Amino acid sequence: MINIYDYSLSDLETTLLENNFKKYNASQIYDWLYKKRVTNFNDMTNLKKELIKYLNDYFIIEPLKIVKVEKDTNVHKFLFGLSDNTNIEAVLMNHDYGDSLCISTQVGCNMNCQFCESGRNKKIRNLETYEMVSQVMQVEEWLKIRLTHVVLMGIGEPFDNYDNVINFVNIINESKGIALGSRHITVSTCGVVPKIEEFTYFDKQVNLAISLHAPNDEIRNKLMPINKVYNLDKLMNAIKKYIKVTNRRVTFEYIMLKEINDSYENAIKLSKLIKGINCYVNLIPYNETSYSDLVKSDKKAILEFYDCLKKNKINVTIRKEFGSKVSAACGQLRSNYEEEQ
């Protein structure tokens, strides 16, 4: 049985035509699934009995199970249980501009970034498309809201699950489905250069964010093993090509780590690295965990770093801190829950 949330509208149209149904039936089904939020094919009252029987015979509608929810000011953290008894998480953040959900794309992660709780638990498998779609659907249902933004920046490396991620983006962007605008969707990568090159020619105006976190190879090699495969020179070349082809701005994520990457000298080096690139830098105060010796930068150091970038005409923001009273770090709720079990 196939979870129907795996199917894009075009895939569903093709499947129905191949089984002697009408193309427009796919739009009807999408309306029931994503607009009316029906979870039983038998409730799709404008479909013929033969089509409902076919759907029941070959498809399932099976949302993810919400295992635990933690709340803090302007944030909800959701732990989901999967059918193979593994767990993932998603984080809903309330911003001035709307409600943004950060979703997971893998169970665990093999990138082993030193600051990331997700990487402490190695990759078990990729998430299927429906498991990403269901994170969106379940959070919206739980909170009775409609999301304004989705960010693929939770557990896992999205470009290590490229095909399912692209299918997910197509599904949530579909105007007859969830209808989330492409410019309200952001895909983040730690720097998988071949997939950045492939993403360059993706036909939707989805945002690209790069987990940079260092101004040179020496620091980045220590923090992010991916840099030993695709160093900053290769990464920057891919990003420059992406911007040239798409005319899209890139976001550089930069976690502020005390006495590692937060000095004024580091800010100067970062300014030189990205000078002339259509980008902005998002400085992120580090969420400390008991599993790492890394420490969040002092507020003074963060402000001095920010000022240096500003003086060098780099667009920069300091991300608002979320979840100080919950398992704030990416993957931390999952880790804590599994150790409790």
What whole-number distance in Å separates Cα of residue 282 and Cα of residue 53? Answer: 50
Of 68, 70, 25, 57, which is closest to residue 44 (Cα–Cα)? 25
Q: Nearest 5°: CA angle at 211, between 206 and 216?
A: 135
**Tens digit of pLDDT for each residue in 94-148?**
998 999 999 999 999 999 999 998 767 789 999 999 999 999 999 999 999 999 9
Pairing of strands 87-95, 75-81: antiparallel
114, with CB counted inside 10 A (0-12, 13-18, 19+), is: middle
Q: Pick one of 1.10.150.530, 3.40.1230.10, 3.40.190.10, 3.30.465.10 as the CATH number of 2-60.
A: 1.10.150.530
Q: Say if residue 291's pLDDT is above 80.
A: no
Fold of 65-340: TIM Barrel (3.20.20)
List the chain domain ranges.
2-60, 65-340
Residues designated catalytic:
89, 330
- Dist. CA 42–CA 53, nearest whole Å: 9
The count of other CB atoms within 10 Å of the CB of residue 316 is: 22
What mean pLDDT comes out for the span 331-338?
53
Residue pointed to by tokens 């000011």: 73
Q: Give the pair of three-digit tokens for residue 257.
A: 């780590």
135 with 8: CB under 8 angstroms?
A: no
DSSP 296: B
- The pLDDT of residue 340 is above 70: no
What's the predicted TM-score (pTM) here?
0.93
Provide the β-strand partners of residue 186. Answer: 151, 207
Mean pLDDT of 169-180: 97
pLDDT tens-digit series, residues 301-333: 999 999 999 999 999 999 987 665 555 555 556
Nearest-10 Cα torsion for 37, 39, 41, 43:
-70
